[in-house]
Amino acid sequence: MPDRKLDIIIPVYNEGKNISSVLDALAREVQTPFRVLVCYDFDEDDTLNVLARYPREKIDFITVKNHGNGVHGAIMSGFQASDSPAVIVLPADDDYNAGRIDHMVSLLLEGCDIVSASRFLPGGKMVGCPWLKAVLARTASFTLFFLQDSPVTMPPMDFVFSHGVLWMS
């Protein structure tokens, strides 16, 4: 395994219009040695055309074909291809949270088993979120937090680090 400490899994489905800005943000903001695993479903995905033209010297990335179905299969294919001690799953249109990654990696490498960013913790926020979506997200988070007796307050896997596979379905 190289000196790399982090693999960033980005599941994509025709994200050609977004992927460059996400990769640019990661290259600009993340200091931890990392590689991006772009996990795609089909060979005609327009993301692949953009990646073929993306300057390889800016960022270390590979493409990983989804061996399952949908976003879950893409994420699991990324986990299978990962060989780094830390892994994050990042949405293909998230070009605004890259600056938070180094701190989260440091927490993981200091011994935390799971590090999860949450908009429901002190200092977190949902900006521009429609009212109904905010209510549904908070209700789901509250319910899972108490029913599962879990310390994770934000159930979606958008921004979660782990030392390995957390569950199998």
Helices 46-53, 19-29: inter-axial angle, 10-degree rounding: 50
**How far apart are alpha carbons 38 and 128 in whole angstroms?**
28
Average pLDDT, the chain: 82
Domain map of the chain by residue range? 6-117+157-162, 119-153
Q: What is the pLDDT of residues 62-89, one digit of tens each?
A: 999 999 989 889 999 999 999 988 888 8
CATH topology of domain 6-117+157-162: Spore Coat Polysaccharide Biosynthesis Protein SpsA; Chain A (3.90.550)
Q: How confident is the model at residue 118 (pLDDT cuts 50, 70, 90)?
A: low
Report DSSP letters for 5-44, one per residue: -EEEEEE-SS-TTTHHHHHHHHHHH--S-EEEEEEES-TT
Q: What is the pLDDT of residues 14-62, one digit of tens each?
A: 999 999 999 999 999 999 999 999 999 999 999 999 999 999 999 999 9
Residue 79 per-residue DSSP state = H
